Amino acid sequence: MTQFHENTLKNPFSIRTDLAIEARELAQQEASAADELEGVDVKTEETSDYFLTHVRILSEEGSRLMGKPKGDYITLESEMLKENNTECHKKIIKVLAENIHSLVEFGKDACVLVAGLGNWNITPDALGPKVVSKILVTRHLQGSLPQEIEETVRPVAAVSPGVMGITGIETGEILKGIVEKVHPTLLIAIDALAARRSSRINAAIQLSNTGIAPGAGVGNKRMMLDQDSLGIPVIAIGVPTVVDAATLVNDTMDCILNEMMAQTEHGSDFYKTLQSLEQEEKYQMIADILGPYTGNMFVTPKEVDAVIDRLANIIANSINIALHPGVTMEDINKYTF
């Protein structure tokens, strides 16, 4: 699982999130609701099937406020991601493929390395390896295909490097060695994320061009995978598949408090007490109570097996269409067995 801001490591009571839209929500809470965050540009698009948010961090000040590197973060949200709705998934695949192209410029003959991060033995963390198993891999075929076919595919390589607990090697070290040997033009890394809102679990896909830190989302500090460390651009694709237990309880507590405030006389002492509870105070209290019993526990929905397979198909199809000129929307699921 991927990165969250270093302040989360310094402050154990910070709400964990890998999503830029949630980082913006948190930053906006600290600023005036009427003020836009300096150095942060946000554009949204809504259809009947999905909600698309493009957050662009333009300056160092914006990066500081958001707690994320400068760059582009595109998040597609849809409850249909969790459902077996083929027609809706086709629309989502199309928009994801278009946005993968928009994040980084790469030529027709550019070699692309696709890396599926995560532990294939743990379902919520197996998204990356499952996507890689469905990627149309063609690098080994270059020079051996008929000319008319070779012009329709790009050299693509794929790898699932595992996690340090399995290999004993940092993911970043493995990928750096592969990059130095294979010389790809671009790395696309797929990983599971952590969210602060349980409603976004398995219902959002984030694309970014700022890199990724494997394992950091669950408190494991690992080598950053970005242009500075690898020497090539990195597109990160992630889905929030877990939420930490304290955050889940915090969301529930917010709902309870809001209902209590709705049932309490406005302006009464009890109303003022409820209104004065700070978010950090609530989260700290919850973490203190849960700590002895749950430790650093993360929660995922019970239908995660089927949903991860569905999400892997969606992401793999969008990558195949984005990378290979000859793969079109009519070819959906031809390579995702």
Return the structure tokens found at 65.
């406020």
Nearest to 171 by CA among 237, 216, 112: 216
What's the pLDDT band for 323 if we cut at 50, 70, 90?
very high
Return the structure tokens found at 84.
């077996």
pLDDT tens profile 222-237: 688 999 999 999 999 9
pLDDT of residue 269: 75
Q: Which residue has the tokens 């671009």?
A: 186
Nearest to 190 by CA among 252, 109, 133: 133
Entry field: residues in the chain: 337
Rounded to the nearest angstrom, the gap between the alpha carbon of residue 185 and the centroid of all alpha carbons in its chain is: 22
pLDDT tens profile 49-104: 999 999 999 999 999 888 899 999 999 999 999 998 999 999 999 999 999 989 99
Nearest to 206 by CA among 78, 27, 14: 78
pLDDT of residue 204: 96
pLDDT tens profile 125-179: 999 999 999 999 999 988 787 777 778 889 999 999 998 889 999 999 999 999 9
Show me where the domains of the chain are located. Answer: 6-239+301-331, 248-294
Return the DSSP state at 140. Answer: G
- Which of the two residues, 133 and 256, has the higher pLDDT score? 133
Amino acid, res. 188:
I
pLDDT of residue 73: 97
Return the structure tokens found at 236.
């990160």
Tell me the pairing of strands 156-162 and 186-194.
unpaired
Return the DSSP state at 173. Answer: H
Domain spanning 6-239+301-331: which superfamily?
HybD-like (3.40.50.1450)
Whether 155 and 128 have beta carbons less than 8 Å apart is answered as no
Q: Can you give the pTM of this predicted structure?
A: 0.83
